[in-house]
Chains A and B, each alone.
Chain A
Amino acid sequence: GAVVSQHPSRVICKSGTSVKIECRSLDFQATTMFWYRQFPKQSLMLMATSNEGSKATYEQGVEKDKFLINHASLTLSTLTVTSAHPEDSSFYICSAGRDSYTGELFFGEGSRLTVL
């Protein structure tokens, strides 16, 4: 399957700071990427659809100004958590592309954010 890389895998920051997470498609171009958030032992919650060269489409209830998404190239989307607070601590995971036969999503490794 295609390779999607996410960085950093873990980040700890102080409350009030901003954190940027990168999602890269390594061996293919992705006009669309998806950002999910996951709390411990819970499912993936779709936050937004990142569209190359245009604004992201946010799911209902997700704050656009809080979670800034930029998809400036066909291989890179970034999620910036602005003015992070402890309640933003979570596992953030991106996906890019789908297998044309199985429909499988290609996920990044995920990023564990801890806000102190």
Chain B
Amino acid sequence: TQLLEQSPQFLSIQEGENLTVYCNSSSVFSSLQWYRQEPGEGPVLLVTVVTGGEVKKLKRLTFQFGDARKDSSLHITAAQPGDTGLYLCAGDYNQGGKLIFGQGTELSVKP
């Protein structure tokens, strides 16, 4: 059974601070996705990483995929209150479209 460990699970910071969320597995992913979810809504895709060592940027968000494709990180620079939400990593282990989600990181950015 694949496990995807995401940390931290809760993070409360002040506006302007930087933060990093980690996602780790003992198994190799064929790809990994990061989602953001607002309460009462479905998750919205932020990025998909596929290649080991890949780095993708989305404005103030930087996503990295580990060289061995077993881990990933999300770094937010100068966090803003609008970044508040639940961030989810999801690993694809090539099992017929099934994704395994990490535990999630509930981020709160205070003005």
Chain B residues, CB < 8 A from A34: 97-99
Query: Which size bracket describes the interface of A in this complex?
Result: 20 to 34
Q: Is B31 an interface residue (CB 8 A)?
A: yes
A42-B104, A43-B6, A93-B42 in contact; A104/B98 too (CB < 8 A)?
A: no
Give Cα A81 to B56, complex, Å.
40
Is the beta-carbon distance between B98 and A41 smaller than 8 angstroms?
A: no
Is the beta-carbon distance between A107 and B43 smaller than 8 angstroms?
A: yes
Interface of A is mostly: strand
A-B contact pairs, 13 of them (CB 8 A): A32-B97, A43-B6, A43-B102, A43-B104, A45-B101, A46-B98, A93-B42, A103-B33, A104-B48, A105-B33, A105-B90, A110-B42, A112-B40
Interface residues of A (CB under 8 A from B): 32, 34, 36, 41-46, 49, 60, 91, 93, 98, 102-105, 107-110, 112
